[in-house]
Amino acid sequence: MQQIGGFNGRVADAPSDNWVYRILPPWLWPYAQLARWDRPIGWQLLMWPCFWSVALAANAAAAQGLFSGSQMLFHLLLYFIGAVAMRGAGCTYNDLVDHDIDMEVARTRSRPLPSGRVTRTQAKVFMVLQALAGLLVLLQFNWFAVILGVLSLSIVALYPFAKRFTDWPQFFLGLAFSWGALMGWAGIFGALSFAAIGLYLSSVVWTIGYDTIYAHQDKEDDELIGVRSTARLFGDQTRQWLIGLYGTTLVLMLLAFVLAGAGFASYIGLLIAAGMFAWQIARLDINDATQCLALFQSNNRVGLIIFAGLFVSVLFSLP
């Protein structure tokens, strides 16, 4: 195994058999790690609100006789590319901001910047290249969606600092990570609606829930260095908070589906997602970091199930 910066070229919280290490040359590994290509859960969780919004808008468009299958598929492809690019740019920015903090946390000190395998200048150049790829994707949409997408950058810029001034940094992450719930609808209709706003709020609350589980991995280190989080705030009451957060997620999403006129299969997907939320809450052990990571990652399947229900609803609505 090749030694790079004393860390074998790996990071502590990513699988060492990832495709990044099998396919890419070692000199590219630090950049792949900055972008989190070796941890796809981040771009997946960023992508699902986009996909939900596209599919929900497609349900509404089908009811109005305005549905375009080619447009829906093209937009899904764009949001996939955009999620990977912008998640990578966001993570690189976050690592630049958190450089000193990451050096103090066991799980993060093996990352490229604190381990010295990438300079800050190299990271900044890489961040700009990823952002440009995201901009190219954004420019494929109507101008309303373009402006809406640009507005999200202020929240993205604020998020890494939230853990320094509030116990609710997960709320700010939700604001940023859920923006796609607005974008998908705007990309099709060139405007927003109460259905899209309801979907966005639902996704924000969902993000607070799953990232609270994730944050329990670092709560001891966070306490030592003064980093704040909902995991520290909720503590032993996390399970009760998750009941409220996930319950609110389902209610807001149900409202969005009703307002958009989503088909029957959408509600079946939502019901299955409710069962998956209940399973997470029942299994949760906030003192088991490995289990917290697994439960956090299971939200990718939640996102997939909700999207599948919306997508099938579109198919059944076609003549």
The better pLDDT of the pair 111, 78 is held by 78
Rounded to 5 degrees, φ, ψ at 182 are -85, -40
Q: Considering the chain, what is the average pLDDT of its residues?
A: 92
Distance CA 283, CA 290 (A): 12
pLDDT at 2 exceeding the cut of 70: no
Length of the chain, please?
A: 319
pLDDT at 115 exceeding the cut of 90: no
pLDDT value of residue 269: 98
pLDDT value of residue 6: 40
The answer to whether residues 32 and 24 touch, using CB atoms and an 8 Å cutoff, is yes
Classify residue 109 by burial, with Cβ atoms within 10 Å: 0-12, 13-18, 19+: middle
Mean pLDDT of 222-248: 92
The answer to whether residues 209 and 240 touch, using CB atoms and an 8 Å cutoff, is no
The answer to whether residues 277 and 302 touch, using CB atoms and an 8 Å cutoff, is yes
pLDDT value of residue 99: 85
Gyration radius of the chain's alpha carbons: 20
Torsion of CA 307, 43, 282, 199, to 10 degrees: -50
Neighbours of 289 (CB within 10 A): 17
pLDDT at 176 exceeding the cut of 80: yes
The better pLDDT of the pair 38, 307 is held by 307
pLDDT value of residue 12: 65
pLDDT at 5 exceeding the cut of 50: no
The better pLDDT of the pair 89, 115 is held by 89
pLDDT value of residue 14: 63
The answer to whether residues 253 and 201 touch, using CB atoms and an 8 Å cutoff, is no
pLDDT band, very low/low/confident/very high, at 305 (cuts 50, 70, 90): very high
Can you give the residue ranges of every domain in the chain?
Answer: 27-317
pLDDT value of residue 236: 95
Scanning the structure block, which residue is given the tokens 């912008």?
A: 86
pLDDT value of residue 25: 92
DSSP per position, 240-276 = HHHHHHHHHHHHHHHHHHHHHT--HHHHHHHHHHHHH
Mean pLDDT of 226-243: 94
Mean pLDDT of 14-27: 81
Identify the architecture of domain 27-317 in CATH.
Answer: Orthogonal Bundle (1.10)
Mean pLDDT of 19-34: 90
pLDDT at 194 exceeding the cut of 90: yes
pLDDT at 41 exceeding the cut of 70: yes
pLDDT value of residue 177: 95
Percentage of residues in the chain having pLDDT higher than 90: 76
Angle at CA of residue 87, ends 303 and 58, nearest 5°: 45
119 Cα distance to chain centroid = 26
- Alpha-helical regions (H) of 35-119: 41-63, 69-97, 99-102
pLDDT value of residue 209: 98
Distance CA 21, CA 75 (A): 30
Neighbours of 7 (CB within 10 A): 19
Number of H helices, E strands in the chain: 16, 0
Classify residue 133 by burial, with Cβ atoms within 10 Å: 0-12, 13-18, 19+: middle
Distance CA 61, CA 68 (A): 8
The better pLDDT of the pair 265, 112 is held by 265
pTM for the full predicted model: 0.91
Signed CA dihedral, 121, 126, 130, 135: sign only: positive
pLDDT value of residue 223: 80
- Token digits of residue 241: 């908070």
- Token digits of residue 187: 């990309």
